[in-house]
Amino acid sequence: MTSLIFVKIIHIFTDSARGSQSFTPEPLLGSLDIFLFSLIAGLLIYWFFFRKKPEPVPEMKTQQIRETSFIEKMKKTNRNVVVFYGSQTGTAEEFANRLAKDAQRYGMKGMPTDPEEYDMSELSRLKEIPNSMAVFCMATYGEGDPTDNAQEFYDWMQGTDDDLAGVNFAVFGLGNKTYEHFNATGKYTDKRLAELGGNRVFDLGLGDDDSNLEEDFISWKEQFWPAVCEFFGVEATGEDSSIRQFELVVHNDINMNEVYTGEMGRLKSFQTQKPPFDSKNPFLATVTGNRKLNEGGNRHLMHIELDITDSKIRYDSGDHVAVYPTNDAAVVNRIGERLGVDLDTVISLKNLDEESNKKHPFPCPTTYRTALTHYLDINNTPRTNVLFELAQYASDPQEQENMRKMASASPEGKALYHSWVLDSERNILAILEDLPSLNPPIDHLCELLPRLQARYYSIASSSKVYPTSIHICAVVIEYTTKTERVFKGVATNWLKNKEVTDNGHKHTVPMYVRRSQFRLPFKPSNPIIMIGPGTGIAPFMGFIQERAWQKEQGKEVGETILYFGCRHKNEDFLYQQELEEFERAGVLTQLNVAFSRDQEHKIYVQHLLKKNKEQLWKLIHSNNAHIYVCGDARNMARDVHTAFYEIAEEVGGLTHTQAVDYFKKLMTKGRYSQDVWS
């Protein structure tokens, strides 16, 4: 810039000199010179005064690092009992919270903790804290697997050789005896911690959800705390009393854009959807299909189709779809009316323990209506701790006494809880209606009720055939209880009402996909034997669709055999047309259907298995067939198991012990897979 000015000035004075030699009077500066001078002056002014100065690089603010040391957190907050939970449906977490709360009654300070959030290799350091103890509430999930949030801890236990001498521990397992690997995770945790030198304070507790998990937990807890007192030389501080964990904050003047309306994690996540989609960030899938599958009878079996276009969600045949239902609005309203509250009040429940990672029991701020509709389980029978905490709000002495009795470990109390709550299937609304003097503050009730959980369904489609759609097959739960109330399953009734309409309104379902080990063989040429009565047919619709697709691709596809069961051929033969078409096309090699009630003697799938025992044994023993069982765990899966044992004995010549061992090995190899529920 300066050299340009210098050249121009020389040019001006040279021209002036030439002009004076010819004595022709000319102006010192021509119009072009004036223009150029003005331009240069303007550029200089801009350069020095108006040019955007380079901005200084801002210092990076150091993001607050999340504490990953539970030991340091315990020291900082003066805790000496840490209660870890491996939880898939929220029950183990709930039990952990109760144990941590109980610790206060014995002069100890508890901390419920998700093992996924901390470095579990620090467990050996627990002895640094005087009179400390680690309690583990560990649920078993799937085929004897740890829950998702306990997987890393489980892997650590398997690989570590840390010395846990001086580390005091106790374990309560949550399982279900209808499954083969009953309480496998709890048993392994207890055994492994002892092997590493840990000091077992109290015996392993085994809860059975097929019987009465709550009763099992109460019975274990009643013996656990006296053992802890004896071990540490402490005593209960006095009478059991209600201890609030959260305080109520009412928001009278708040921007409604800051209020949660049903989102699981990020505020406004339903308005602005961003992948990846998971349990904390579900995708809102549009319902594009909803049809009744059965022709008659008093049940409602349905086929639902969810559109996952543009979600980037991928799934494989055999995976599960998780859906987040909402509670019945009529039940929510009746709770509000019974307690005499304005359900649209905006509130937050704030943890009184400021150091806790769990700031709220559910997303806050929100309204009571949203909490009772989207976040809290109001349909199931409440656990004993809820009755104990609410008893103080019953003004009738007899009602209060009965509530406290039901929450106790006495035989009379257990019997009363079993008959009055469990057998009668009283949910929280029924309890409020049948105990007129009970008037709890709604915020305390919301604090005590467990979270409403996602419901899982085996996907009834193949992504090879339906890449942008997920199908669900389910039966609507609805029946009359002993108190003459109508019990309605939350999720199935909610799904049933998600009808596809032409009026422009599109129903949506918050969902995500959970991966499964229930997989077709890697080689399509391997034969498959599928056993799935009732809605257990769901994953096999995906399997059969995929085998049809593989045939279309020119692949060699092995024998595809289905054993299906239902009550009546003319009522609940699910997907009859589709299955018969697959059989005609040669995709289904065999379609075997047991109609249990179309004749005098009931016929089930296990009877058909025995009828074809020679063929089945040849496929399994000689042709490397894969077996898949889906449906009821309590009876069907066991009976099918037994049928296969008998086939191995009768056709294969094995003893019963050898037969059991034979099929256990098939499971280990991934050739006998189950997707069952109780």
- Does 322 show up as a binding residue in the annotation? no
- 142 marked among binding-site residues: yes
Residue 154 is encoded by which pair of tokens?
A: 């489980």
Torsion of CA 359, 361, 364, 369, to 10 degrees: -170
Question: CA-to-CA distance for 139 and 134, rounded, in angstroms?
Answer: 16
Residue 428 scores a pLDDT above 60: yes
To the query of whether residue 446 is one of the catalytic residues in this protein, the response is no
Cβ neighbourhood burial of 342 (10 Å; 0-12, 13-18, 19+): exposed
Q: What is the pLDDT confidence band of residue 142, given thresholds at 50, 70 and 90?
A: confident
Section 583-602 average pLDDT: 95
Respond yes or no: is residue 458 known to be catalytic.
Answer: yes
**Axis crossing angle, helix 91-102 with helix 213-232, rounded to the nearest 10:** 30
Across the chain, what does the average pLDDT equal? 91
| pLDDT(33) > 60 | no
Name the residue with tokens 């389910």.
Answer: 474
Q: Which residue type is seen at 136?
A: F
Residue 458 known to bind ligand: yes
144 is in an annotated binding site: no
Determine if residue 628 is labeled as part of a ligand binding site: no
- Residue 375 annotated as binding? no
The DSSP annotation for 538-549 comes to: HHHHHHHHHHHH
Rounded Cα distance, 579 and 298, in Å: 23
Over residues 1-21, the pLDDT tens digits come to 444 433 333 343 334 333 333
Sheet holding 508-514, edge to edge: 455-458, 320-323, 508-514, 283-292, 301-307, 469-475
Residue type, 208: D
Length of the chain: 678
Query: Given 219, 424, 598, 677, which residue is catalytic?
Result: 677
Annotation says 566 is catalytic: no
Tell me which of 364, 446, 566, 630 is the catalytic residue. 630
From the candidates 124, 311, 458, 673, which is the catalytic residue?
A: 458
525 assigned to a ligand binding site: no
H or E, element range at 605:
helix 605-611
Tokens of 288: 């594009």
The dihedral built from the CA positions of residue 337, 341, 343 and 344, taken in this order, carries a sign that is: positive
Q: For 334-383, how does the pLDDT look when each residue is reduced to its tens digit (9 = 90+)?
A: 999 999 999 999 999 999 988 888 899 999 999 999 999 999 999 999 99
pLDDT tops 80 at residue 430: yes
**pLDDT value, residue 22:** 37
Give the residue from 604, 620, 617, 618 showing the smallest Cα distance to 647: 617
pLDDT at site 114: 96
Q: Out of 307, 319, 377, 675, which one is annotated catalytic?
A: 675
Work out the pLDDT band at 295, boundaries 50, 70, 90: confident
Instruction: State yes or no: 90 annotated in a binding site.
Output: yes
420 catalytic? Reply is: no
